[in-house]
Amino acid sequence: MNANLLQTPIDYLKGVGPNRAELLRKELGIHTYQDLINFFPNRYIDKTRFYKINELQQNTAEVQVVGKIINIKTVDQKRGSRMVAEFIDDSGKMELVWFRGQKWIRENIKINTPYVIFGKTNWFNGMFNMPHPEMELLEEHQKNLRTAMQPVYPSTEKLTKAGITNRVINKLMQQLFIETGGRFYDTLSKDIKEELKLISRAEAMFNIHFPKSQELLARAQFRLKFEELFYIQLQLLIKNMIHKQKIKGFVFEQVGENFGEFYQEHLPFELTGAQKRVVKEIRSDLGSGAQMNRLLQGDVGSGKTIVALMSMLIALDNGFQACLMAPTEILSVQHYNGLVELCKELKTSIYLLTGSSKTSKRREIHEKLENGEINILIGTHALLEDKVKFKNLGLAIIDEQHRFGVAQRSKLWQKNHLPPHILVMTATPIPRTLAMSLYGDLDVSVIDELPPGRQEIKTVHRYDSNRLKVFKFIRDEIQKGRQIYIVYPLIQESATMDYKDLMDGYESIAREFPMPEYQISIVHGQMKPTDKEFEMQRFVKGETQIMVATTVIEVGVNVPNASVMIIESAERFGLSQLHQLRGRVGRGAEQSYCILMTSHKLSSDAKTRLETMVSTSDGFEIAEVDLKLRGPGDLMGTQQSGVLNLKIADIVQDNQILKSARFYAKKLLAEDPEMKLPENKMIGYTFEQLGVHKNIWNYIS
């Protein structure tokens, strides 16, 4: 079929007209025939069976029955009246009831003529009745393209008010199939279709809108989901391929003295197998001549910082500068202190630049950066300011990527004649399914083992009624010389309520752990930064045994001696937050604990979250559960969710199809990157069309 026909504005479809067209555009984003054909039902009513009246059961199922109306009467009631029709088939009788629209129904209904009725039944006065049934003359029903399985399309209040009902959409869909002849060119190669036993595209399109059976519907859905995910993966993989071919990067040929000396003499611990593998992947990128664009995922405490440092030392060995950008001042200060400590034996100059750096310090940094005296610069968004100019920036590391937009990444690029290599780090494990879709154009490295000597954190769930036992446990741990975090939830909307919760909690803890025997630090969002810092430092130095805080400590406090994390009202936290908080303990060699405190009232989602935390410490497993509970849009925040504006596939439920789609897209590009072979011509053509028309699947910026 001529693909251009599908680009026809929806106004021209018979039965639409200017007013309906305007509503379809505004409410459903349907501008063209193509948009309508890709407007898929979100559920189906199974009308594969006709019931006899004497087979009806007292349940809430919707049923369809064939029979005729033999008389109609109006019955007065307290308010107004109702209209009742006697409906019979060869097995018995029932009543049809209308409370509204009686005049129209009375004028249009044909007596003693076979009808198909559909709706929910009620049992009343010893007989079944059906209020406001859907009705269609049997003769019409048999003629219609609409099949036994009836599609239900997404709708809005405005559409319903304007009379654009499900039936109208169905009729428009029928008209579209008549005008296009239901012929759709196939978008996949013969090989893929045969290997996966896929039905043709035309058959899939027909059966998604007018399914002939449950089985054909399932096959149509599989075919269209695969196709949608396949083209998204193709797009991401090609983007990555072009990136590697076109965007040249500095070639770091040597691993020199800084890297060698650090690796052989100053490494604080033996690298894990996972760390070695990741360093190798990064080294190979840095020497390839293409710009590195890599995502490094590693759970809290898995040792990403050491990998980041070793990557920066390679840049230094090749005569380049490196920078590390973190989302918050606390985190950038922590990175700075950590790296200064690791490099104290090396001849490297490391500087810190944040929003609170003094003007004189800034001037010094700007000058030394431009003349090359600074090797490594660490900081916050302040690094993106125009005044910050490097002599030759070779590697930019971005921590917690999801907090920085793509535009901010490209700002770093513009600081050079050639873009620096980019390494993006995150401690928020991104489920593999989501990573394939969101970061499919980045190469992904994963550190999936903890450094030796780290013990798994024991996690338990306790109810408020167990509080005294928990207090006893805290005393025992403090006796052993350990420190404790107690964290309260933070809900932005109600700072006063949070503050009260925190203060109530603080007071009850202060009563249980009185001074001078115990010292308690408190940190919350309403404190001045200097006061916060003072309290944090007391805890870091071990002057206080208990830190009571809101979630400000989620990122960036490293106290190896803290071995217990107590999370109050744990049901109010999201899974990834719980996992991040738990990662604040377990940083030393001692056994650490995480105690999730809740009330007895828990929603089923909250129960799932708590059970997940107790049963696993694998961040990826936790992220998968989180994705199932919250959906992709929520998980990645709004700036990312647009990427997942899928028409039919669902990234969570269809992750097996997604993996298969990525496998076939990779295979195709390995064998025929230009998509020029005769058998791949249609894929190449479809891919091109998607770019031109920005249609379905084209959601990747």
pLDDT digits (tens, 9 = 90+) for 96-119: 999 888 888 888 999 999 999 998
131 plus 169 within the same structural domain: no
Cβ atoms 95, 87 nearer than 8 A: yes
Whole-prediction pTM value?
A: 0.63
Q: State the number of CA atoms in the 13 A half-sphere of 494 facing the CB.
A: 7
Does residue 253 register a pLDDT over 60? yes
Number of domains in the chain: 3
Residue 693 lies in a domain: no
496 pLDDT band (50/70/90 cuts)?
low
569 plus 585 within the same structural domain: yes
25 plus 126 within the same structural domain: no
User: Which secondary structure element, helix H or strand E, spans residue 69, and what is its range?
Assistant: strand 62-76
How open is the CA angle 122-124-130, to the nearest 5 degrees? 35
Q: Using one digit for the tens of pLDDT, what is the confidence trace for 394-432?
A: 999 988 755 445 556 566 666 666 788 989 888 777 776
Q: Which domain holds residue 470?
A: 458-616
Does residue 444 register a pLDDT over 80? yes
Mean pLDDT of the chain: 84
Residue 311 lies in a domain: no
pLDDT for position 408 = 60
Residue 347 lies in a domain: no
440 pLDDT band (50/70/90 cuts)?
low
In order of 288, 329, 542, the CA distances from 246 in angstroms are 13, 35, 53
pLDDT for position 7 = 86
333 pLDDT band (50/70/90 cuts)?
confident
Question: CA 479 from chain center: how many Å?
Answer: 43
Considering Cα of 56, then 57, then 58, then 60, what sign does the dihedral take?
Answer: negative
pLDDT for position 635 = 42
Does residue 1 register a pLDDT over 60? no
Percent of the chain exceeding pLDDT 70 equals 87
Question: How large is the average pLDDT for residues 167-185?
Answer: 89
72 plus 30 within the same structural domain: no
Q: What is the CATH number of the domain that holds 177?
A: 1.10.150
Question: CA 197 from chain center: how many Å?
Answer: 30
Residue 359 lies in a domain: no
35 plus 135 within the same structural domain: no
Question: How large is the average pLDDT for residues 43-63?
Answer: 79
Please choose, from the candidates 324, 380, 329, the residue with its C-alpha nearest in 3D space to the C-alpha of residue 348.
324
111 plus 185 within the same structural domain: no
Question: How large is the average pLDDT for residues 20-27?
Answer: 92
642 pLDDT band (50/70/90 cuts)?
very low
Among 65-69, 422-426, 503-507, 614-618, the range of highest mean pLDDT: 65-69
Q: What is the CATH number of the domain that holds 123?
A: 2.40.50.140
Instruction: Using the 3D structure, point to which of 562, 589, 616 is the last residue of a domain.
Output: 616
Does residue 492 register a pLDDT over 70? no
Q: What b/e sequence results for 133-160 when a residue is b if at least 16 CB atoms lie within 10 Å of its CB, and e otherwise? A: bbbbeeeebeeeebbbbbbebebeeebe
Does residue 569 register a pLDDT over 80? yes
101 plus 166 within the same structural domain: no
Q: What is the CATH number of the domain that holds 462?
A: 3.40.50.300
Does residue 228 register a pLDDT over 60? yes
The 3-state DSSP class for residue 181 equals coil
55 plus 160 within the same structural domain: no
pLDDT for position 504 = 83
> How far is 97 from 131, CA to CA, in rounded Å?
5
pLDDT for position 437 = 65
pLDDT for position 460 = 94
699 pLDDT band (50/70/90 cuts)?
very low
Residue 68 lies in a domain: yes
Does residue 644 register a pLDDT over 60? no
pLDDT for position 639 = 36
Residue 248 lies in a domain: no
Question: How large is the average pLDDT for residues 548-560?
Answer: 67
Question: How large is the average pLDDT for residues 127-156?
Answer: 83
DSSP string, 523-563: E-TTS-HHHHHHHHHHHHTTS-SEEEE-GGGSSS---TTEE
Question: How large is the average pLDDT for residues 554-573?
Answer: 80
Q: Using one digit for the tens of pLDDT, what is the confidence trace for 671-695?
A: 999 999 999 999 998 888 877 765 4
127 plus 164 within the same structural domain: no
Residue 490 lies in a domain: yes
Does residue 641 register a pLDDT over 70? no
pLDDT for position 576 = 80
Residue 534 lies in a domain: yes
Instruction: Give every strand in the sheet of 376-379, ordered side by side.
Output: 350-353, 376-379, 321-325, 393-399, 421-426, 293-298, 443-447
Q: How many CB atoms lie within 10 A of CB 678?
A: 7
pLDDT for position 267 = 86
Please choose, from the candidates 125, 63, 132, the residue with its C-alpha nearest in 3D space to the C-alpha of residue 96.
132
9 plus 25 within the same structural domain: yes
Q: Which two tokens stand for residue 417?
A: 């004649």
Among 127-141, 143-157, 529-543, the range of highest mean pLDDT: 127-141
88 pLDDT band (50/70/90 cuts)?
very high
pLDDT for position 412 = 66
Question: How large is the average pLDDT for residues 453-471?
Answer: 89
pLDDT for position 636 = 42
58 plus 189 within the same structural domain: no
The more confident residue out of 650 and 415 is 650
Q: Which of 148-157, 202-211, 346-355, 673-682 has the lowest mean pLDDT?
A: 148-157
Residue 582's identity, in one-letter code, is: R
In order of 8, 320, 405, 593, 651, the CA distances from 323 in angstroms are 51, 10, 17, 35, 35
124 plus 24 within the same structural domain: no
